[in-house]
Chain A
């Protein structure tokens, strides 16, 4: 199906474990983004990518790593998960205007 998808939709992990959240889009959009959404903070940009192999930090990048070897995929890795990374994570893509959001991944770090 066309669009933007995220996997998994729900994830529970433990402190210190590595976790990778996947994002895939079928529009061949140049720009892709990772946000986290927490009560009282709204959506905050973690990392973004302007094209394959080009990534840059957003507002809250610490503790996260991204890569973009292919235009359609933009995985987000938590190298050593902490409780403060419990959140809802949204991936988005864009081609210069509005951003289209994936369904989100609800991550709980115990």
Chain B
């Protein structure tokens, strides 16, 4: 089957570091995406990993291990505006067709002062 698992909720403190984990099981996997979604808004793209390893982009980094079916999103120097839902999505679902994404249910991150 096809499945994406990520924690439902997380809480962290402003200025701290938080890691949001995602495990996936899809047929025809061809990459892992992370999106940020503020309440009442559309998802916006954060990162994309196709090869194993860490991709760093400013305060945000994303890691992928294809052999383990595992990814994480690392947020450093947390700010209040980082309070949002973080969506993990595996590309290549639905039999490996490119551009189709299977989304997890999202992790709601609350950043506290």
Contacts and interface: CB of A to CB of B under 8 A. Distances in A.
Interface of A: 31, 35, 40-45, 48, 50, 58-59, 90, 94, 96-104
Contacts of B100: 45, 48, 58
B42 A98 contact: no
B20 interface: no
Contacts of B48: 97-98
A96 B99 contact: yes
A42 B87 contact: yes
A99 B45 contact: yes
Contacts of B41: 103-104
Contacts, number: 47
Given A90-B42, A99-B45, A100-B45, A42 B98 contact: no
Contacts of B99: 31, 48, 50, 94, 96, 99
A58 B100 CA distance: 9
A98 B99 CA distance: 8
A98 B45 contact: yes
A58 B45 contact: no
A42 B103 contact: yes
B92 interface: no
Top 5 nearest A-B pairs (CB, nearest first) are A42-B105, A101-B42, A43-B103, A98-B45, A42-B103
B28 interface: no
A104 B45 contact: no
